[in-house]
Every structure is written in structure tokens, then in C-alpha cells.
Structure 1
Amino acid sequence: MTILETILQEKRLEVKRMLLDEPKACEQNRPARPSLFQTLKNADDLQVIAEIKRASPSKGLIAEGANPVLQAQQYEQAGAACISVLTDGPFFKGSFDDLSDVANHVEIPILCKDFMIHEVQIDRSKQAGASVILLIVAALDDMTLKRLYDYATELGLEVLVEVHDPSELQRALSIDAKLIGVNNRDLRTFHVDLEKTEEVAAHFPFDENRVLISESGIAGEEDAIRVANVGASAVLVGETLMRSSSVQDSVRSLRVKKAGTPL
């Protein structure tokens, strides 16, 4: 099995456990968060979606003992546009408790980063305080992708739809996704290649009301400039920031000028 298939097999078991659990209490009354889409659309410089990431299948432990609240507060103070919280336990050492703790301490948009395959995961995300969820095109068939997208938007959540190549971009566009991320990491092999952002950008409808986000493999200013030059409005960065000795400096270095809209 590929790494993605292994993760999805575990997710199916996780969803079964969630459905057997007692219903969770309704989400707390938190202040409304700014729209991630509008933040990215209106900014003149490349925005940073800063990720709380303790581990990954490819890198192993990255920052096992990291305090998600302290990390999130550093991200917010450094000027991040959004905080991504990995809630997967078996492969990324995250949890919905991490998400809830972060949501109680920051005011910017919060992305629940997980492998969503069922509505119950979206419910948990919202209950824990997420304002944005991730849907991965490679993990879902067309019918499920649309169903979950519609379900999340009806709950008032924004949806980041993740693609890896131009064919997956077309699937994202078919459900009218506004926030579209290019994962430079192939989830089947976990190989990373920034050319994936360039490849998808060449087919991206920049003249429509949509934004492009480059995810994974962004190590510093040079990479940020590279993806900004092809039209990215934001980068999603985890490992680089989790390992950084100065979150403030690292975030600042990524906030390069956005390029003009490509022809």
C-alpha cells in the first residue's frame, strides 16, 4: 500500500470509533474569525499559513514536545495569516484537543489539517474551533469530495481543497473551490517537488475569484519567491517553522511580495 492508502485505512477505523462515541458538546461560542480567502485575496505580500506539526510519516519526530498554544501564539504574533493544526494522532502526533486549545488562544483563522473522509470529522473540527478544513482530492472520489465540500460550507466553514497535479486541479474547480492548495508532496510516496506548484499554476484560472496556496517543501525566502512568482497567494509551512530558532524571522522571510497576476 502507498502511504496515503495506509493513512486512509486508519482514518476509516477512526471514523467508526467517532460514530460510536457519544455526541460531543456543541462548539464553544468563540468570536468569528476573519475569512482566510479574503485575507489572502486582499494581501499585497505572500501570506503564511503556519502549521503546528509534531511529526510526519516521512520525517518522523519533528518537535514532539511542542506546546501547541505557545507555538500558535508565536505564529500569530509573527504575522501568520492562519494557523494549521494537524489533528491526526497515529501519523502526525496531533489531536482535536490541540485544535481546541489553539482556538481558545488565537484570533486568526484556524485550519483543521487532517485526512477528511466523513462528515463526523468535519463536525469535530467545527466543535473544536476550526474555521477552515482541508479536503484532499487524492483521498476522495468525486461524489464524496462534493458532498463533504457542500457539508462544510453549509456549516459556515471555509474549505481548502488540496491538489497535486493539473488533473486534480480540474476536480477542485468542478466543485467551485475558492481556496486551492498545491501539495508539493506526493502523498503516495511523500516525495517533495516545488515544480508541482509551477505545474498547477500554469493551468490555474487566476482571472477567477480563487487563490492558489503552495504547501510543503517551503524552506525559506528563495522558495517563497519561487512560488509567489507563479501566482501563489500563500504558503503553508510546518517543519521549517517548527524547527526555527526564531519564528518571527522565519515568517517575515517568507512574506515576500506577491507577483502580478500571471497572464
Structure 2
Amino acid sequence: MNILDQIIASKKREVALKKSMIPIKQLEQSVLFERKTSSLVRHLLNSSSGIIAEHKRRSPSKSVINQSNSVEEIVTSYENGGASGISILTDNQYFGGSLDDLILARATTHLPLLRKDFMVDEFQVIEAKAFGADVILLIAAVLTRDEIKKLSALAKSLHLEVLLEIHNHEELQKSILPSLDLIGVNNRNLKTFEVNLNYSKQLAEHIPSEFIKISESGIDSAEAVSELQQYGFKGFLMGEYFMKSENPENEMKEFIKKLTL
């Protein structure tokens, strides 16, 4: 099995265990479950930079990225630095994240929060809402069209926005549904972890205009963002670039300043 297959197999076991222990009613009684969500779409449309900064401690491709700063420190730095939204990795086994990270981020910022995980079950969508997310990620490479339809419809019923991640034209074609809000092109091949920004450029013209276009992974310069903006991208999901910085706030301010020159 490639790394993506391994992650999904582990995730299905993890979710099955959680479902056996935690009743959905318990999640629905969470203080945050009735919270009014914040729109990532609106924030991106009102932003000149469109940066969605990510909290990510480690990854299968890069091992440790940042284990020293707290969630609160990172999230505060991102907000003060000018991020439009924040992505929180909640997978523990492969990325060192947790739902505690999401709830701590929610307590720290009013910016829209994306729960970034490998969503394979409706339970996780309800969980995302209960822990303070505003947006969920669905990965086309690991879901059928029916699964995308079911999970995105549930998300919309909970007033969560949906970011669908694609990597090629086939994934886009099978996935286009009115229950999506944002379509992200992952420049990293999830099976090999190789990165190429041309994935975003090649797929941009095929993404219908009603969806906000996001470019994900491998973005490490203001020049790259400026170039991708020419292809209609409004959001840029950046994890390692800011996460590994000693001063994420200043790094982001400098990055955004270069974009507006």
C-alpha cells in the first residue's frame, strides 16, 4: 500500500473505534455545536493575499516541522500576521495533530477554521462542528462521488463550508456538486508526496467559476502566489512555510507586503 492507502485504512479503524465509544448525541450537545460559523469564502473574497495558514506539527514527508510552539501561539501569530483563515491538522498518527488543537484554536481566534483530516465518515463531520470548525476538507482521491455528496450535504446542513481537494481532472469531473464551496488543487501527489505547482495551473481553467479556487502545498514565495492569482486562485493553503518559521507573524507580514508591492 502507498502512504495514502495506509492513512485511510488507519483512519477507518480510528473512526470505527470512536463511533463505538462516543454517541453522536454527545457531540451534538457540545457548547460549540450551535455556534454561528464564520465563512472562509467571504474572508477570501475580501482578502488581497488569501493566505490560509496551517498548524501542522509533522508530516509523513517532512517528519518534524514544529513541535515547540503551542497552538495558541501559532494561531495568534497567524491572525496578527494577516491570514484569511487557519487550517488545523487533526490527524494524530501521521501528522501529530488532534481535536484538542482545533478546540484550542477556536478559543484563540475568530478567523474561519478548516478542520484538515481524512474524512471518511459522517461522524467526523459532526465532530468537526462540535469542536469549532467552520470548514471541512474532503479529499476526492479517497472518496466516491456518492460519499462526497453525502458528506458535503451533511456539512451544509450544519452550516459548515466544504473544501474539496483534487489532484487531477478525473477527480474534478467526478466530484463537482452544488454542495461544495471551495475546490482546492493539491500540488503534492498524495501517493508519492512529490510537489509541482503546475497541477494548479493546469486544472484552474477546468474549475467552474462558482467555486472559490484554492492552491494547496508547495507554495513558498510571494512570486508563486502572484502567479497563481493570475490563474484565478483566491486562496493559498500554506503549512510548512510559516509553521517552520521562528517568527510566523513577521514572516507572514513580510510575505503579504511583497504581494502588495
TM-score, normalised by the number of residues in structure 2: 0.92
1:15 aligns with 2:15: yes
Counterparts in 2 of 1:65-214, with a 5 A limit?
Answer: 65-206=68-209, 209-214=210-215
- Ranges in structure 2 where 5+ consecutive residues have no aligned partner: none
Identify which of 54, 57, 60 aligns with 1:57. 60
- CA deviation after TM superposition for structure 1 residue 66, in Å: 2.7
Identity of paired residues, percent? 38
Partner of 1:225: 226
- CA deviation after TM superposition for structure 1 residue 146, in Å: 0.7
Q: 1:176 to 1:102 in 2, by over 3 A?
A: closer
Q: Amino acid of the residue matched to residue 213 of structure 1?
A: I
Counterpart contact for 2:183–2:207, Cα < 8 Å: no
Range with greater deviation from structure 2 (88-97 or 213-222):
213-222
Counterparts in 2 of 1:37-56, with a 5 A limit?
Answer: 37-43=41-47, 45-56=48-59
Range with greater deviation from structure 2 (149-158 or 85-94):
149-158
Alignment deviations for residues 196-230 of structure 1 (CA, whole Å, 9 cap, x no partner): 10011132223xx2210000001121221221121
Partner Cα separation in structure 1 for residue 67 and residue 241 of structure 2: 14
Count of residue correspondences: 254
- CA deviation after TM superposition for structure 1 residue 192, in Å: 0.8
Partner Cα separation in structure 1 for residue 192 and residue 151 of structure 2: 25
Counterpart contact for 2:43–2:85, Cα < 8 Å: no
Q: Amino acid of the residue matched to residue 151 of structure 1?
A: L
Q: Amino acid of the residue matched to residue 39 of structure 1?
A: H
Partner Cα separation in structure 1 for residue 175 and residue 74 of structure 2: 31
Alignment deviations for residues 37-90 of structure 1 (CA, whole Å, 9 cap, x no partner): 1222343x2311110000000001111233111100111111111110000000
Counterpart contact for 1:51–1:238, Cα < 8 Å: yes
Counterpart contact for 2:185–2:199, Cα < 8 Å: yes
- CA deviation after TM superposition for structure 1 residue 4, in Å: 0.7
Range with greater deviation from structure 2 (69-78 or 172-181):
172-181
RMSD: 1.6
Partner of 2:239: 238
- Ranges in structure 1 where 5+ consecutive residues have no aligned partner: 258-263
Partner of 1:261: none
Partner Cα separation in structure 2 for residue 219 and residue 52 of structure 1: 16
Partner Cα separation in structure 1 for residue 37 and residue 125 of structure 2: 17
Q: 1:254 to 1:198 in 2, by over 3 A?
A: farther
Partner Cα separation in structure 2 for residue 236 and residue 254 of structure 1: 14
Specify the SS of the correspondent of 1:233. strand
Partner Cα separation in structure 2 for residue 228 and residue 17 of structure 1: 42
Specify the SS of the correspondent of 2:223. helix
Range with greater deviation from structure 2 (65-74 or 31-40):
31-40
Counterpart contact for 1:166–1:199, Cα < 8 Å: no
More helix by share: 2
Q: Amino acid of the residue matched to residue 236 of structure 1?
A: L
Range with greater deviation from structure 2 (81-90 or 221-230):
221-230
Q: Amino acid of the residue matched to residue 238 of structure 1?
A: G
TM-score, normalised by the number of residues in structure 1: 0.91
Alignment deviations for residues 142-167 of structure 1 (CA, whole Å, 9 cap, x no partner): 11111001011111111111111122
Partner Cα separation in structure 1 for residue 129 and residue 110 of structure 2: 15
- CA deviation after TM superposition for structure 1 residue 92, in Å: 0.1
Partner Cα separation in structure 1 for residue 178 and residue 166 of structure 2: 13
Specify the SS of the correspondent of 1:104. helix
Partner Cα separation in structure 2 for residue 253 and residue 182 of structure 1: 25
Partner Cα separation in structure 1 for residue 255 and residue 37 of structure 2: 23
Q: Amino acid of the residue matched to residue 50 of structure 1?
A: A
